[in-house]
Chains A and B, each alone.
Chain A
């Protein structure tokens, strides 16, 4: 623990860590000093002048350096001017007056100055009701304006900084919190101040505007209604909103969220989600969310939601609306008939409880439990994954983080933030990737390899040399691996090499050490822990089988899989949205989204976190674990399904990593620093305090003393490529055409058209130019795409984004034609 100093604030003696800002120390002691520009996550700037206080320091004799005593106590010398408590740090013996007449006058004057230029349009302002300026005006403002209202400066009120974020120039108080967030936290310096004096205004100078996947956070920390999201703008008043704790379902980071809901007439009197807000969890997402997590919730209210069980029967495939009983009976009967031909195909969209019941069913009837994912290696993260106590937020000097084959900014934005910050705190960051990524500039070492050579690069970590030294000698080491340019087999091999490097250097089985997979979905890690595994050749695995699909759309994703399912014996699909697979299924079962029910997700860091019901169930949808149990009943197998809690209890009794976990433990909270709220949202922004659980880590096999079994790393079998060939490689993109993203209209512009990227020389070789619409074909797949020239792509390579219509499962030799 750092050295503590004792000081007095408003007569209250407090201790605070040396180096803390007075304003933060006061906050911890329960004294709220008003602020606008200060934010505990940003560097102090002292520009708004709201936190003015009187500061007195013990007087020292100039000659002797001794503290001058007066009546047995140190004589305190107050500065003639008020000082900002957000830039001055605590010192031993300091005396701070935050409520003196002088300090009050200073604070009052700042509010008055701010209000001279403020439009006072609280009645129509989205921030009204949760506005720091409004609150502090109530506390410190004058009831009468001395500024002539007609002389107010009028400015533009609807300035789109991007299609996601709007700026109201009149309301802006020039505190620069948004700019500083983008510069310091996000690392995307795409907004800034233009002009000066009273003409100072926020502008975006990127193309497209406000080009950052973290832009939504600026609306949380904006202390006025200047920045609003296009999504929530004029959508509801804050005081009408309820708040329900949840977990983001968009990626493996597992950001803690709060769903703001209200009952509204235009939704037929139903409760609807109005916005997704961050919920503080300093060990996961701090107080931030990426824009995908913030805006991609609209799928839950999509018109395409499945609401009733359906069957397709007879030669003409007649669609019948049937009862749950009838639908599950039909499914159960066919599963029973299937015997060994039974395949359960599920994705990490599902909760732990759902996957547990699905796996139990598969095991009971000799079926195969297949994970619908393009990334392999999860059996290794279950063994040597990061252990309990892991917190990227504390890693710094002495720790080494390796990111290999992943563009974290696109694949798991909040991990990108956390890794970037760890590097800024002094952690050694090694980025290994075939092309440049945003993380490179924070890296101590950037290792560039050719597609297919990732394992060789990872092996450098355990050899003598710069990389080896940085890795082997590190106190803590974490490897984060992804699937850039890799299929299931390739990423599994990469995981093996990573696990081996960690295991050999004893970076396993302890906190802040181990392997993390950058999965596709929120609960892929959970699926691996249950025993689900992806298939190298999924089409072959589905052909002629009885398939129970949960949370996946193989038909829509890949023509090969569509073909395989055509020849399947019987297909049961349980999902939330209509899709190409529900169109061909024999039985369609409507499932609840995670916002309608209880459950848990296991994040990529192996943290199990609870989510809670926030809105009413759509139609007759049921929770996945309950649907499975109902099918099982028709197969004469009884499974628990009364509620998620009970399923979790059995799960925790059955699976070692979950041993001892209960919903109660998952809901535990403790004091988190920095304090961001405690009722007054002006301090940390409108982010929510965490009252519903920080989650608990699973134990890793290595921690439990189990022998770590790592198969031999195999070199990814790249297709044979001649000099004249074009190698198509799969890459991940944050905004793709996933069903859960596409429903958010706001994000459509970000999803964009299907583009393939290659460098100039390669494009020239194939006779195509930037922007050309081309026909792309590889491995039996063909489709249209636009060409993008990107000099970070190596020669002879074409990047094909996943989830954008071109079904690429692994690297393949490709052709492009105009």
Chain B
């Protein structure tokens, strides 16, 4: 099947303006700007069933329709902060299929009548930002961006903006704060960005991958898009596969493809290294609840869509699937995740700031072989104590792997603690 988002895998040099244009590029945007009402664009996206690819899976068209039309100006922001450990799809899209992403961003901007759009990139993507700037310049030269696009009254400027290296800036309100030049710390929600966003103005924020889907949906229609994937999760998803697999990488599959297809498919992960057994899965990067596999075929045959993954006591999130095999002890895994979250906690709210620090102290003892059984119980208790009390979702995420790791793989901990 031809790729939708990772189209560059089928078409060489798609990141070149002429090649992209020759392959139908910009036709959706041209058509929209010249022939469609902004709300019609939103309606097509709504009908396609496209859901946000950043992790929460919120229906994209519905989000766009929430934009507050009593308050102006409007902004659109692309979340290119891609900072979840195990997620590396947006980078590939922007490097290899940048125009499709930019066209999607432009389409969204048109749909919500925004004249300015920002691409917020993580600081490490500085080369990518320069690259995108070139691509934006090419579009401006071609009259696809800038003032009075294609002779219409619609104008749009797209700017790239680099973050300064914080995981939290992938959280949409922290991203907005950072974009405004403030400390990257999340805001209290509600109000949500479509009513109170960048500089307090209505703002649509979507993930890079979400935008990259939009031109294809506009070009081929909502029904075409819905024909892929499942009823609940339509279309295709780029899965970032990593961990103990033979071929880690990004794989575009329709929603509903199984974990087995992703991990064992010859064109995909091509199986686990050393032909070991899958022990656990982290479907949403470091923020995952661990899925117990232990070689269970039924689990591996679960379709990867939002609803099905939930039945396994986890979330699909950004679909960055980390494969853990039976050579790995879960105390090692959560030692890694806790370190990450302790390092990245923004410090704004108490449970996350203090909880991640405390958890790190405990997991250090456990993983270092100095822990007692009481420490494992304490770690579980502290993690649970954090959940549901933090200011933003990331605080809760930091405790997911800990809680599920201990609850679902108790034996791994029993082995490392002193009796």
User: Which residues of A are in contact with B by a Cβ distance under 8 Å?
Assistant: 44-50, 52, 80-82, 84, 87, 106, 109-110, 112-114, 116-117, 146-148, 151, 153, 173-174, 192-193, 195-200
For the complex of A and B, 3 pairs with smallest distance between CB atoms = A200-B347, A113-B354, A197-B345
Given contacts A196-B345, A200-B347, contact A80 B388 (CB under 8 A): yes
A183 to B: closest C-beta gap in Å: 11
Across the interface, which residues of B come within 8 angstroms of A82, CB to CB? 388-389
Q: Is the interface of A mostly helix, strand, loop or mixed?
A: loop
Q: Is the CB of B347 within 8 A of A117?
A: no
Given contacts A80-B388, A174-B353, 20 further A-B contacts (CB under 8 A): A46-B188, A46-B349, A47-B348, A48-B349, A49-B390, A49-B391, A52-B389, A109-B385, A113-B350, A113-B354, A113-B358, A116-B354, A151-B361, A173-B350, A193-B347, A197-B357, A198-B347, A198-B353, A198-B356, A200-B347
Across the interface, which residues of B come within 8 angstroms of A147, CB to CB? 358, 361
Q: Is the CB of A49 within 8 A of B351?
A: yes
Q: Is the CB of A196 within 8 A of B358?
A: no
A142 to B: closest C-beta gap in Å: 11
Q: Is the CB of A198 within 8 A of B350?
A: no
B343 within 8 A of A: yes
Across the interface, which residues of A come within 8 angstroms of B342, CB to CB? 197-198
Residue pairs across A and B with Cβ atoms less than 8 A apart, 8 shown, are A46-B188, A46-B349, A49-B390, A52-B389, A114-B354, A146-B378, A174-B350, A193-B183
| B: number of interface residues (CB 8 Å) | 28
Bound Cα distance from A246 to B351, whole angstroms: 42
Q: Is the CB of B388 within 8 A of A197?
A: no
Q: Is the CB of B351 within 8 A of A153?
A: no
Across the interface, which residues of B come within 8 angstroms of A196, CB to CB? 166, 168, 344-347
Choose one: B351, B353, B385, B388; the contact of A200 (CB below 8 Å).
Answer: B353
In chain B between 308 and 356, which residues have their CB closer than 8 angstroms to a CB of chain A? 342-351, 353-356
Bound Cα distance from A46 to B392, whole angstroms: 10
Across the interface, which residues of B come within 8 angstroms of A173, CB to CB? 350
Given contacts A112-B385, A197-B344, contact A87 B357 (CB under 8 A): no
Across the interface, which residues of A come within 8 angstroms of B349, CB to CB? 46-49
Q: Is the CB of A197 within 8 A of B378?
A: no
Q: Is the CB of A44 within 8 A of B347?
A: no
User: Which residues of B are in contact with A by a Cβ distance under 8 Å?
Assistant: 166, 168, 183, 188, 342-351, 353-358, 361, 378, 382, 385, 388-391
Bound Cα distance from A48 to B390, whole angstroms: 9
Q: Is the CB of A49 within 8 A of B350?
A: yes
Q: Is the CB of A174 within 8 A of B347?
A: yes
- Nearest neighbor of B184 in chain A, beta-carbon distance: A196
Most chain A CB inside 10 Å of its own CB: which residue of B348, B361, B378, B382: B348
Across the interface, which residues of A come within 8 angstroms of B382, CB to CB? 146
Q: Is the CB of B346 within 8 A of A116?
A: no
Q: Is the CB of A117 within 8 A of B357?
A: yes
A586 to B: closest C-beta gap in Å: 65
Bound Cα distance from A49 to B390, whole angstroms: 7
Across the interface, which residues of A come within 8 angstroms of B345, CB to CB? 196-198
Given contacts A49-B390, A193-B183, contact A113 B351 (CB under 8 A): yes
Across the interface, which residues of B come within 8 angstroms of A44, CB to CB? 188
A687 to B: closest C-beta gap in Å: 24
Q: Is the CB of B347 within 8 A of A199?
A: yes
Q: Is the CB of B347 within 8 A of A49?
A: no
Q: Is the CB of A153 within 8 A of B166?
A: no
Bound Cα distance from A196 to B185, whole angstroms: 9
Q: Is the CB of A109 within 8 A of B389?
A: yes
Across the interface, which residues of A come within 8 angstroms of B357, CB to CB? 116-117, 153, 197-198
Bound Cα distance from A623 to B389, whole angstroms: 59
Bound Cα distance from A105 to B226, whole angstroms: 45
A325 to B: closest C-beta gap in Å: 67
Across the interface, which residues of B come within 8 angstroms of A114, CB to CB? 350, 354
Bound Cα distance from A151 to B375, whole angstroms: 14
B403 to A: closest C-beta gap in Å: 15
Across the interface, which residues of A come within 8 angstroms of B358, CB to CB? 113, 116, 147
B164 to A: closest C-beta gap in Å: 11
Choose one: A45, A151, A197; the contact of B343 (CB below 8 Å).
Answer: A197
Choose one: B168, B343, B351; the contact of A109 (CB below 8 Å).
Answer: B351
Q: Is the CB of B344 within 8 A of A47?
A: no
Q: Is the CB of B188 within 8 A of A87?
A: yes
Q: Is the CB of A197 within 8 A of B188?
A: no
Given contacts A47-B349, A146-B378, contact A110 B389 (CB under 8 A): yes
Across the interface, which residues of A come within 8 angstroms of B390, CB to CB? 49
Q: Is the CB of B350 within 8 A of A110?
A: yes
Across the interface, which residues of B come within 8 angstroms of A112, CB to CB? 385
Q: Is the CB of B355 within 8 A of A113?
A: yes
Bound Cα distance from A687 to B60, whole angstroms: 49
Most chain B CB inside 10 Å of its own CB: which residue of A44, A147, A195, A198: A198
Across the interface, which residues of B come within 8 angstroms of A117, CB to CB? 354, 357
Bound Cα distance from A48 to B183, whole angstroms: 17
Bound Cα distance from A113 to B343, whole angstroms: 17
Across the interface, which residues of B come within 8 angstroms of A52, CB to CB? 389
B298 to A: closest C-beta gap in Å: 29
Q: Is the CB of B353 within 8 A of A46?
A: no
Across the interface, which residues of A come within 8 angstroms of B354, CB to CB? 113-114, 116-117, 198
Bound Cα distance from A205 to B13, whole angstroms: 49
Bound Cα distance from A113 to B359, whole angstroms: 11
Q: Is the CB of A148 within 8 A of B350?
A: no
Q: Is the CB of A110 within 8 A of B351?
A: yes
A111 to B: closest C-beta gap in Å: 9
B370 to A: closest C-beta gap in Å: 11
Bound Cα distance from A372 to B361, whole angstroms: 67
- Nearest neighbor of A110 in chain B, beta-carbon distance: B350
Q: Is the CB of A49 within 8 A of B378?
A: no
Bound Cα distance from A114 to B389, whole angstroms: 13
Most chain B CB inside 10 Å of its own CB: which residue of A113, A116, A174: A113
Bound Cα distance from A173 to B354, whole angstroms: 10
A46 to B: closest C-beta gap in Å: 4
Bound Cα distance from A389 to B17, whole angstroms: 70
- Nearest neighbor of B354 in chain A, beta-carbon distance: A113
Bound Cα distance from A487 to B342, whole angstroms: 62
A201 to B: closest C-beta gap in Å: 9
A811 to B: closest C-beta gap in Å: 43
Given contacts A116-B357, A147-B358, contact A49 B389 (CB under 8 A): yes
A448 to B: closest C-beta gap in Å: 29
Q: Is the CB of A197 within 8 A of B350?
A: no
Across the interface, which residues of B come within 8 angstroms of A198, CB to CB? 342, 345, 347, 353-354, 356-357
Across the interface, which residues of B come within 8 angstroms of A46, CB to CB? 188, 349, 391
Across the interface, which residues of B come within 8 angstroms of A193, CB to CB? 183, 347
Bound Cα distance from A199 to B353, whole angstroms: 9
A84 to B: closest C-beta gap in Å: 8
Most chain A CB inside 10 Å of its own CB: which residue of B349, B382, B391: B349
Bound Cα distance from A109 to B386, whole angstroms: 8
B190 to A: closest C-beta gap in Å: 9
Bound Cα distance from A84 to B392, whole angstroms: 12
Bound Cα distance from A147 to B390, whole angstroms: 20
Bound Cα distance from A193 to B344, whole angstroms: 15
Bound Cα distance from A195 to B348, whole angstroms: 11
Q: Is the CB of A48 within 8 A of B166?
A: no
B313 to A: closest C-beta gap in Å: 16
Q: Is the CB of B351 within 8 A of A45?
A: no
Most chain A CB inside 10 Å of its own CB: which residue of B349, B354, B357, B391: B354
Choose one: B168, B350, B356, B388; the contact of A47 (CB below 8 Å).
Answer: B350
Bound Cα distance from A50 to B389, whole angstroms: 10
Most chain A CB inside 10 Å of its own CB: which residue of B188, B342, B361, B389: B389
Given contacts A44-B188, A49-B389, A112-B385, contact A197 B351 (CB under 8 A): no
Bound Cα distance from A36 to B349, whole angstroms: 11
- Nearest neighbor of A175 in chain B, beta-carbon distance: B350
B315 to A: closest C-beta gap in Å: 15
- Nearest neighbor of B343 in chain A, beta-carbon distance: A197
Most chain B CB inside 10 Å of its own CB: which residue of A49, A106, A200: A49
B184 to A: closest C-beta gap in Å: 8
